[in-house]
Amino acid sequence: MNSAQFNIGGVMVDIKWKSNIEKYHHKFKVLRMAMDNWAKKNCNISTQSIEYRLYSKDCDKFNELKTLLTTLYSVSDPDIIMKRTHMKLMNEMFRRYN
């Protein structure tokens, strides 16, 4: 069993997985926590600001990637590996919001 730790707003989050699909589901949860934490900290941002617009676009990208992962899992091998471009996008969003 593999594991990893993430620091989300000062809280350590441990994830453990057996297959790649579990790993990606857990990483999506951690990314969502980081994005939600950022949104709570920056709740006073104007809806016209660049940061707010970027957050809104990233929420849409997050939902698209989550749907993609669910679709791939339902039609493919459970140990499917997401494409490198998808993983890079997730990492960029994680760095932006954590």
Place of tokens 């091998």: 77
Query: Residue 66 is part of which domain span?
Result: 2-97
Give the pLDDT means over successive 10-residue stretches in the chain (98 positions): 88 87 86 94 91 95 88 66 82 92
Torsion of CA 43, 91, 24, 9, to 10 degrees: -40
Instruction: Name the domain count of the chain.
Output: 1
- Please report the pLDDT score of residue 80 as a whole number: 60
pTM of the prediction?
0.84
